[in-house]
């Protein structure tokens, strides 16, 4: 067996001690063992064994496995025919299981199936069905044989039936001359992959290219080699960024898995960005009216989409650090103390408050669904329904990490779009209510109208929630120099917000057109549907709408609770310096569910405070991203970008203060029914 020798050029410090010599190392496979020649294994370093057991080593292990797979493939290059890359069947090897199924279906079924009944005219029922079953089973077995025979043990791929027959019946297939010439060459020593193109900025000129290498890399044989080299160069690019990764990330539920993609991102953004808050938008129109209502809705949608783009761009810093949590980005922009002061309370308040509200809405809707299906009053009290919903949510919350709930988010997105569409269609089909009016309430002072307008702006701001989860969602996606995570993330965001716009705008405008000032202040469109159309609408439709709301509430609970779960486990891992055990993870999630249940029972009037919640969370959505962009990116002073972000940031903070004041004034002026420990 020909021995391969790989030259590894030593760093500058090593050159000082070893001025003239070059270190040669055996191939990767020989690090662990030789090819059966009796040479003992290389002893392992205890430092290396400890290093490879840390979370930091997980991407390194994956890269080494990929490199070992690459060198495994190198040994099979000699079995490939260079002509394969020039022929239509094997010119492209990017197929997958779906493509294979399409091809097999297209070739396996057609006009010949139409002739089968004619065969039955001779064979009859019994023999016809028997022969058909035997033939189907027989050909399926031979098809399995062909699939197994495609790749031989020596590595040769028989990509044509004729080649397989020739190999089976002892007909020698000659390999091209150029390939044999490459096999006859002696040991080639190559520098490290990074030095093929350039040095690391030390002024040393580029390595001269060999004319033999240039001719070899232009042949079809080199195409897989080029791809492997590109992958290894990407690996070395990632190695330089390992020092920027936090070892705790592999222990925490948000960043435990980084196998996300644009589809998963779209599912999460849809599930977190659309929900029960969309049903309250027509109520905001009762104060703002048609013109200002539509204008404010359009401005808020554009504004929050811009700040969402800022967050996606800020996720990865120029130094390679990934800010996979909103709080971490705020601390990096404003400093550790100021970042916690500004962002910690709004983030936890938004996540926890949303989960509590979801328990209230989901449980009350679950009760309505049960009564409509059974047809009689429910024997359970509201508190017991709260408990049923909370237990179901805690059980579903045992999925380990954010990436694992992508399917749950997909269900949540589908149900949210489903009930928004159903409520909109039912309301519009039934037409406008009698005596509906669109005039703002009269007999109120100008001060009251101003505060009511601020409260309405808070409801609109609360409808565009989810910015506190954008960085967390992007943290589940892989990223490298060539394919940064922001590209796939933005594709997912654009698709999600296209769907969100198609739901929110028709629902708010159509709902206000149908109900006008008669829309209920509590539960919005869902309450109007039950109040005005419960008797003239089929029970199946009302029950289906209620079921979709319950499912969406359960699924949205998972993604909004994830930052709380992550923060609890972060406290443990920071103190113990080890991953959180499973029993403690279950305890943390159960504890949060019990706390949310207790708050929901204690403060059952919390959904009436939607404007206040929107005001507190408004800086997270509209102000902080602009200010963080200024602190991190530092655009040129007095440039368009500088003026734009300063203006939006300052207006966002002022607007947040005004919305909170308006919400408090609305509570004092209109009053809400406060009933502690008595949910209805």
Least confident stretch, 33-47, 253-267, 407-421, 538-552: 33-47
Instruction: Categorize the per-residue pLDDT at 393 as very low, low, confident or very high, splitting at 50, 70 and 90.
Output: very high
* CATH number of the domain that residue 592 is part of: 1.20.1740.10
- For 7, the enclosing helix (H) or strand (E) is strand 6-8
Residue 191 included in any domain: no
- Domain hosting 442: range is 262-561+588-670
Spatial neighbors of 267 by CB under 8 A, at least 6 apart, are 406, 407, 409, 410, 412, 413
DSSP alpha helix (H) spans, 75-115: 97-108
* C-alpha dihedral (623, 624, 627, 628), degrees to nearest 10: -150
Residue 98 included in any domain: no
Task: Tell me how far apart the alpha carbons of residues 464 and 460 are, in angstroms, rounded to a whole number.
Answer: 7
Q: What is the per-residue pLDDT for 61? A: 66
Task: Tell me how far apart the alpha carbons of residues 66 and 60 are, in angstroms, rounded to a whole number.
Answer: 10
pLDDT value at 12 more than 60: no
- pTM passes above 0.85: no
Task: Tell me how far apart the alpha carbons of residues 213 and 334 are, in angstroms, rounded to a whole number.
Answer: 52
- Beta carbons of 527 and 680 less than 8 angstroms apart: no
Selected residue with higher pLDDT from 312 and 49: 312
Q: How many domains are contained in the chain?
A: 1
Task: Tell me how far apart the alpha carbons of residues 69 and 228 are, in angstroms, rounded to a whole number.
Answer: 10
pLDDT value at 419 more than 50: yes
Q: Taking all residues of the chain, what is their mean pLDDT, rounded to a whole number?
A: 79
Residue 527 included in any domain: yes
Residue 326 included in any domain: yes
Task: Tell me how far apart the alpha carbons of residues 611 and 670 are, in angstroms, rounded to a whole number.
Answer: 13
- Beta carbons of 274 and 548 less than 8 angstroms apart: no
Q: What is the per-residue pLDDT for 345? A: 86
- Beta carbons of 144 and 134 less than 8 angstroms apart: no
* Nearest alpha carbon to residue 299 among 439, 449, 438, 461: 461
pLDDT tens for 465-512 read: 788 899 999 999 998 888 899 999 999 999 999 999 999 999 999 999
Q: What is the per-residue pLDDT for 113? A: 83
Phi, psi of 188 (to 5 degrees): -115, 130
Distance of CA 466 to the CA centre of its chain: 13
* Mean pLDDT calculated for residue range 430-446: 80
Residue 292 included in any domain: yes
Q: Report the percent of the chain where pLDDT is more than 70.
A: 73
Residue 331 included in any domain: yes
- Beta carbons of 519 and 525 less than 8 angstroms apart: yes
Task: Tell me how far apart the alpha carbons of residues 516 and 441 are, in angstroms, rounded to a whole number.
Answer: 11
pLDDT tens for 180-222 read: 444 444 443 444 434 434 444 444 444 444 444 455 555 555 5
Selected residue with higher pLDDT from 596 and 2: 596
Widest Cα–Cα separation across the chain: 100
Residue 102 included in any domain: no
Residue given tokens 């791929």 in the structure block: 157
DSSP alpha helix (H) spans, 376-484: 382-396, 406-430, 446-463, 470-474
Residue 123 included in any domain: no
Residue 640 in tokens: 């368009």
Spatial neighbors of 336 by CB under 8 A, at least 6 apart, are none
* Mean pLDDT calculated for residue range 343-351: 86
């Amino acid at each position: 067996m020909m021995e391969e020798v790989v030259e590894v050029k030593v760093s500058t410090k090593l050159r000082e001690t070893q001025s003239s010599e070059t270190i040669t190392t055996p191939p990767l496979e020989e690090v662990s063992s030789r090819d059966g020649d009796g040479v003992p294994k290389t002893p392992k370093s205890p430092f290396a064994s400890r290093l490879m057991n840390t979370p930091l080593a997980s991407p390194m292990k994956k890269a080494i496995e990929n490199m070992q797979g690459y060198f495994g493939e190198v040994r099979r290059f000699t079995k490939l025919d260079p002509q394969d890359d020039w022929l239509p069947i094997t010119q492209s090897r990017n197929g997958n299981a779906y493509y294979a199924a399409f091809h097999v279906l297209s070739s396996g079924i057609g006009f010949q199936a139409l002739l089968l009944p004619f065969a039955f005219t001779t064979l009859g029922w019994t023999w016809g069905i028997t022969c058909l079953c035997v033939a189907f089973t027989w050909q399926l077995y031979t098809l399995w044989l062909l699939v197994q025979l495609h790749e031989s043990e020596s590595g040769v791929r028989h990509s044509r039936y004729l080649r397989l027959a020739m190999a089976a019946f002892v007909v020698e297939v000659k390999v091209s001359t150029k390939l044999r010439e490459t096999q006859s060459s002696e040991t080639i020593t190559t520098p490290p992959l990074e030095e093929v193109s350039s040095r690391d900025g030390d002024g040393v000129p580029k390595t001269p290219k060999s004319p033999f290498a240039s001719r070899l890399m232009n042949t079809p044989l080199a195409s897989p080699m080029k791809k492997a080299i590109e992958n290894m160069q990407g690996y070395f690019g990632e190695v330089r960024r390992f020092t920027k990764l936090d070892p705790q990330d592999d222990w925490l539920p948000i960043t435990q898995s980084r196998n996300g993609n644009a589809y998963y991102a779209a599912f999460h953004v849809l599930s977190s960005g659309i929900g029960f808050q969309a049903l309250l938008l027509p109520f905001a129109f009762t104060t703002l009216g048609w013109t200002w209502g539509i204008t404010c809705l359009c401005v808020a949608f554009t504004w929050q989409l811009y700040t969402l783009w800022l967050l996606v761009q800020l996720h990865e810093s120029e130094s390679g650090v990934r800010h996979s949590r909103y709080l971490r980005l705020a601390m990096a922009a404003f400093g550790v103390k100021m970042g916690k002061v500004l962002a910690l309370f709004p983030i936890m308040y938004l996540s926890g408050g949303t989960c509590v509200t979801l328990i209230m809405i989901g449980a009350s809707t679950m009760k309505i669904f049960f009564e409509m299906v059974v047809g009689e009053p429910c024997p359970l009290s509201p508190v017991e329904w709260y408990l049923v919903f909370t237990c179901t949510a805690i059980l579903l919350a045992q999925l380990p990490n954010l990436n694992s709930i992508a399917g749950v988010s997909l269900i949540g997105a589908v149900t949210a779009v489903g009930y928004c569409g159903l409520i909109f269609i039912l309301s519009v089909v039934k037409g406008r209510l009698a005596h509906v009016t669109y005039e703002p309430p009269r007999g109120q002072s100008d001060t009251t109208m101003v505060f009511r307008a601020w409260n309405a702006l808070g409801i609109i701001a609360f409808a565009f929630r989810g910015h506190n989860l954008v960085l967390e969602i992007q943290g589940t996606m892989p990223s490298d120099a060539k394919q940064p995570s922001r590209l796939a993330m933005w594709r997912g965001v654009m698709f999600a917000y296209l769907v969100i716009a198609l739901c929110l705008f028709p629902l708010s405008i159509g709902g206000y057109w149908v109900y006008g000032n008669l829309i209920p202040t509590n539960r919005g469109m869902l309450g109007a549907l039950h109040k005005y159309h419960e008797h003239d609408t089929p029970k199946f439709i009302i029950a289906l709408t209620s079921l979709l709301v319950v499912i969406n509430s359960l699924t949205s609970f998972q993604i909004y609770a994830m930052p709380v779960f992550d923060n609890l486990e972060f406290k443990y891992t920071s103190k113990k310096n080890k991953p959180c055990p499973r029993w403690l993870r279950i305890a943390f999630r159960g504890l949060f569910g019990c706390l949310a249940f207790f708050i929901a029972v204690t403060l059952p009037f919390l959904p009436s405070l939607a404007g206040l919640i929107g005001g507190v969370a408004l800086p997270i959505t509209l102000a902080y991203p602009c200010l963080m962009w200024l602190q991190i990116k530092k655009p040129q002073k007095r440039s368009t970008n500088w003026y734009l972000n300063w203006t939006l940031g300052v207006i966002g903070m002022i607007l947040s203060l005004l919305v909170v004041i308006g919400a408090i004034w609305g509570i004092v002026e209109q009053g809400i029914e406060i009933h502690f420990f008595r949910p209805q």
